[in-house]
Every structure is written in C-alpha cells, then in structure tokens.
Amino acid sequence: MAQTSAMSDAKEDNAEWLTLRRFLLLLAAALLVVFPKVALGPTTFFYRDFGALGYPCGIFTRDSLLHGELPLWNPYSHCGVPWLAQMGQFYPLVWMAYFLPVPWSLNFLTLLHLWFGGFGMFWLLRRWQIGNFAAGFAAFAFVFNGVTFSCLLWGNYIESLAWLPWVVGCVREAWRQGGRWLAFAAVASAMQVLTATPEITLIGWGFLSAIWLGEIFSGEIKFPSSARRLGLVVLLAAGITMIQMLPFFDLLAHSQRNSGNDEATAWSMPAWGLANLIVPLFHCYESPQGTWFQPGQEFLASYYLGAGVLVIALAGVWFTRTRLAVICAGAVLFCWLLALGSHGFLYHGVRKIFPLIGVARFPVKFAILTAFLIPVLAAWSLQNLQTSPSKKPMRGVLFTGAIILLLMAVLVCLARFFPFPSDLWNVTAWNTLERAVLLLLLLGGIYLLLKLKNHPACGGVQVMLFALLALDAATHSPKIAPTLPASVLAPGIWQNSGLPSPPKLGEGRIMISPAAEQQLSYSHVADMNLDLAGKRLAEWYNFNLLDHIPKVNGAVTLRPACFDTLEHALYYTEGGHYGMGIVDFVSAEWISSANNPTQWERQPNRLPLVTAGQKPVFEKEANLLPAVIADNFNPHEIVYLPESCRPLVTVTNRATCQILHTHFALNQVEADVNAAAPALVVFSQTYYHLWRAFIDGKPTALLRANLAFQAVQVPAGIHHIQLVYRDPYLKTGAVISAISLLACFFIWRRTPKIH
C-alpha cells in the first residue's frame, strides 16, 4: 500500500537511483553499522528505564503467559498492584517479541521501530510531493538524531515516534479521501496510543488539527465531510484501544496520579537549553557512568537534531512558504517554548487553558515532536534546492550555515569564560569542533550534489550524506545509548549469588531499606557493568521480576492511592520514621543493609502474609497512616480499619483463629481457616476495589485493613476463603476493541483500493 501510493502520488524520476527498496536497504544497513552487536544479539540496551523498568516488566508478562496465566495482577511489586491495566501492556508487537529469544527480540524490536519510522517518514514525504533524495535525507535525520537516540532509554517512545509519520499521513488522507484510508488511519492511531506515550499522541494530534484547520480555511476541503471522516477515525481508533483504555481509566481514577501532579513542572529545558541544538554538550555534565545530561533535566540526554539538518531546515523556512511548512515551523517554535516549562513564558499559560497538557509530566517531552518536524522542514528545503532555478536557496543555506558556525564559536567561548561548575570545556570544545566539521561536510556535499550531473556520482554523494547524518548522531553525545553484554539481564542473580533461597510467592517478601533505595537511585559507580550488577543484586526497581522475588516496593507507574500513601511515607518522606510493626506486617523476610544495598539481612519476626484473630480498631482516614507506621503498632494483636468499615464488622475483640492452608497465584488467593469465634482474617496484599472475597463460595465484604491492605470477617468454624481479582473493564474493552477492528476490516473490504 505504502509503496504503491507513494509512487503514484509523486512523479518518479526514472533516472533517480534511490528507489524505495534501496532506501530501506540503506537504512537497515546504517542501523546495523551503528548498532551491530545489539542487532545480532551479543549486547543489549540496559540504561535507565529500558533495563530497570521496561525489560523486567516484559519478562514478567511473558513468563505469566507462558505459564498459562493472564497477569491481571502483579503480586511481586508494591505488595501487589494492578498489571494489565497499566498503559503499554497491550501493544501487540511487544507481545510478539515476548515469544522470541530475549533480550535480543526486544532489542531488535526497538531497532525495527527505528527502521519502520524511517520508512514512514520516506512514505509520508513522497505523498507530499517530495523527491526521493529529500525524503530519504529527512528519514535518516528522523532516525539519527539526539532525541531519537535519547528515546532508546525509554523504549515506548521509540515505538510512538515510529508510528508518528504513519499517523500524520494516514489521518490526513482519511479526512481528504475517506475510503480505506479511514481503516488505515484508525489502526495507525490506535497503535500509537497503545505505545503508552500520551504526550506524543496529544502533541501529534494537535499538529494534525492545525493542518486540518488550515485546509478548511483555505478551501481545500469541506468542513462537513472532512469532520465526519475525522470523527469516524477518532471513534474507530478509540474503540480499538478500549481493551487497554477502559482498565487504565479505572486504575487512573483509583491511583496516586492526577493532572495536578507536581512532577509536571520538573525536567524542563533550561533557559539556555536551545544552545544545545548546535552545541550538544553546552553546560552539560558528565554522569558517573559517562552519559551526558543537562543539570536539572535528565529525561532527554540530548535533543540535538544535527547542526546541518537544522541549518537546512531554518533556511527552508524562509524559502518554502507553503502552508504546511509554515504550520511545521510554528509547531517547532511552539514545542521548544513549551519544553522550557517554568523557564519560559508560555507553558503555565497554556496549561491553565488546556490542563490536559499536564499529562506530559515533564515539559521537555514537548521537544520530542521536533525530531519529526525539523526533518520535514529540511526535506522541503532540499526539494526547493533541487528544483529551484535560482541560486538564492543555496545562498540562504550557506548564509544560515555561517551564522550557525559563528554561534557555535560564541557558545564555546561562553562555556570557556562563564563555565558551570560541572562543565568540561575541553570536551565541549572538541565535540563542537567535530559538529562544525560535519556541518561543513554536509553543506559541501549538498552543494556538490547540486553541481553534479553524473547520476552514479550523485548516488555516491547521497550515500555519503546519509552516512554523515548517522555519524553525527552516533558521536555527538558520548554513551547516549550505552550497551552491555546481554548476559547482564539474565534471570536468577539472587539464586546464583550464594544467598539463601529468597521467599517465593505467598511465603514472604524482600524489602529494600529506605537508605539503600536512596543510594541506588543516585548511584555513583562509574563502571556501568558493576553498577548494573550491584542494582541487580539489590533487586532494585523492577529487577526482582527477573528473579521472581516478591518485594515490598517496586517501579510501576500507577499504584493504588492507599498503598502509595504508605510507600511514600516509608521511602520518600525526608526525616520520616516508621516502626518495625509495619515491616513485620508486610512479611519482609529480608531487608537490605542501609550501608550496602547488595547485602541482605534476615528478619526473624516477620508475619506470614495471612494472619487472623486480631482485634479491630476503627480510625478516621487521616489517622490510619500515623497508626500503622507508629512504633507501637502490633500487627499480631490489632488491625486498623477505617470508620467506613464499622457497619460491616461485628467482631469486637481478639479471637482464636488458625490458618490451616494458604495458596497464592497471580489473580487469586486462597486460605483455609479454623475460627473458634467470629474473627478477622488479614491479608498483607494491597487493597484494590476489583478484588472480590468469597467464604465457602459465597460473596462477602472485602475490608481495607491497615490503611492499604485486605481483610475479611469469617464466622466461627472451618471455612475456605477465596480472593479473586476480576476486571470487568478488560472484558468490556476487549469486546469494543474487537467490534472496532471488525468495522475497520469491513471498511477496508467494502471500499475501493487506494491508488
């Protein structure tokens, strides 16, 4: 579809050697050259969220599916947390990778998305009447730049960027032509939503809205017909995603996250941040592991898009006055201003009018869209250079290049005479010199290309220009996407370390001490291999999922609000204190040493995960947290319940109750008890409203106990208790998604083929 439509919508120069097939082969070859060991399997990405968050989560999902269990609930993190309701769980391409050898399959999938994104950019620009070379140049610039390489640390952002050109192209054709484009646009849009990057989705659709309004006001399209088509695309895309979105919205409503989260003003581009567009290391610091970041902004290691690409794009703004180019240029400026966050004048004003932008959490994320927009502007500029009989466009490019080179020199001087404490001027200066040389080579290659009439020679120059783009991206920021041998992510590090066997599911948990958590979060170990090995031994973040060890805390985006309140008090309250009662209650069998996070100390007094017979004590909601973290909290003797549970509880004192048997699975807990009198049975598993309780097969009330956990009341005698996690939103969403996909298939079958 893509090849046929692109070739039909743009006039093909038969003498032009860069066909779609050759471009795709070149792009694949470039990715293989830049990431050879990752593509072939000996090494793996691991840094930041790729290794500590995304990969272990994927392995947990894969292992659950291989054992025949659908992981609605994850009992290994945060004393239990909703799982498939988390965003990003239903992206189908990742599920396919789960059943291939890991970590190679997940690494290869990342590179495959880079290739797919470049393919999409080439296809989009060919549909927009851009020639093959200019389209290929923009596609390489889209794949090889600082933003895209930074997103290798956060895998779902690569997936979302890869779908962006397809979404833009298909949705635009859908509102213009309808037919099969409606189905393609809905599927592409749904796939991007399922990557779990709401910021890129919202910003991308804002860009599409500007294009749509521009075409309406210019008279190119009619409002009624285009609005109906666009509405149908949105409806179908939303329907396809309901298998994910309905459970997610329910979790969001019961989680710690809200649109007013303070993190929404963190990690913004610094006031001088635009300087990094041409001097990538300007006022940056080198982390202990060798990766470079801006002070106070560590989400994107770089948003350098290539000095040469920026020069061509800026020059093109002046010489390409089409409506699309103006919209792109305006969107670039808008994104950079929003990325400044509180350092700029625009972010807070826009957020007051559109509070939904707070979903981005970190304002610097707005800079991600420029990785798509700047290459598009550069493509139009190159097309103008190739087709214009005038020499003005090339003179404009050379003049802009001279200005950028001058600004580079000025910024290097500023870094020399007005340094930040963490600046390394020699590194910055040499790095900038390399960027300047590559800029000159790129502009020289374009100038030579315009002069050459020999087609084989033109092909060689074009390949050289593509290589320069890849080289610039790969060298502009040291260790921007570091790798290690794939064995570093192998499961079983605790079991192979010589420590006694860790607790299994239902037997107990490990607990990272608050002091150890702080050390691990701000590690200063220079050797990346040693640093990762230490974090693996400490079972930090989500690494416990690789070893199938239940843990008190974890690293899941959304957590039930009641448990997050407790976790925040235990780990993230400065000067906070808690008693050992809560530690015993959560069944912490092992606690990491405050002095050495890789050393574990056994706790002899921990309680089992299921206890019974405690005396109920009713407290107001505000008093529950102080009560459970107090030094005098004795979970053997009492259980705290909110006042709202008083009408549901008849037990008033302690009772003799014996736990006969317990069994824990992913989505179910069972216990047999023998109670001498009516008693409370307490489960140190996170309370969530979708759990259902049954006694001897009959429904009973599930109580919230000790602020964030579960309890049921049993009558006297021997009884079988069953807790079952059921998600009706997932079932409803699955039905809606299936109907929406069938509707897309019907549209595709019943409408004419695309030409």
Reported as a single tens digit per residue, the pLDDT across 551-582 is 999 999 999 999 999 999 999 888 788 999 99
pLDDT at 522: 87
13 has pLDDT over 50: no
14 has pLDDT over 70: no
Contact 160, 201 (CB under 8 A): yes
Q: Strand 668-675 and strand 285-286: pairing?
A: unpaired
pLDDT digits (tens, 9 = 90+) for 246-259: 999 999 999 987 53
Task: Compute the residue count for the chain.
Answer: 755
Of 658, 661, 652, 725, nearest to 687 (Cα)?
725
Residue 311 amino acid letter = V
pLDDT at 642: 97
Of 557, 555, 560, 709, nearest to 255 (Cα)?
560
Backbone angles phi, psi at 298, to 5 degrees: -115, 15
The sign of the torsion formed by the CA atoms of 492, 496, 502, 506 equals positive
pLDDT at 383: 92
655-659: which pairs have CB atoms within 8 A and are 24 or more residues apart?
655/612, 655/613, 655/679, 655/680, 656/613, 657/612, 657/613, 657/681, 657/714, 658/612, 659/608, 659/610, 659/611, 659/612
Extract the tokens encoding 650: 């008849």
β-partners of residue 698 are: 695
242 has pLDDT over 60: yes
pLDDT digits (tens, 9 = 90+) for 106-156: 999 999 999 999 999 999 999 999 999 999 999 999 999 999 999 998 889
pLDDT at 755: 63
Extract the tokens encoding 568: 């925040």
Average pLDDT over residues 653-660: 96
Contact 227, 202 (CB under 8 A): no
Of 706, 693, 691, nearest to 80 (Cα)?
691
70 has pLDDT over 60: yes
Q: Strand 588-592 and strand 509-511: pairing?
A: parallel
pLDDT at 457: 87
378 has pLDDT over 80: yes
Q: How far are the Cα atoms of 41, 310, 387, 601, 735 from residue 87, in angstroms, in the given order?
A: 28, 34, 46, 35, 18
Cα 457 from Cα 544, distance rounded (Å): 56
pLDDT digits (tens, 9 = 90+) for 168-191: 999 999 999 999 999 999 999 999
pLDDT at 437: 98
Extract the tokens encoding 482: 């570091």
Extract the tokens encoding 534: 């230490």
Q: What is the dihedral of CA 651, 684, 251, 591, to 10 degrees?
A: 150
8 has pLDDT over 60: no
Cα 89 from Cα 221, distance rounded (Å): 38
Q: What is the pTM of this model?
A: 0.93
Greater confidence (472 vs 319) lies with: 472
CA 72 to chain centre: 20
pLDDT at 350: 81
Q: How far are the Cα atoms of 579, 706, 714 from residue 619, in angstroms, in the given order?
A: 18, 10, 21
Tell me 369's DSSP state: G
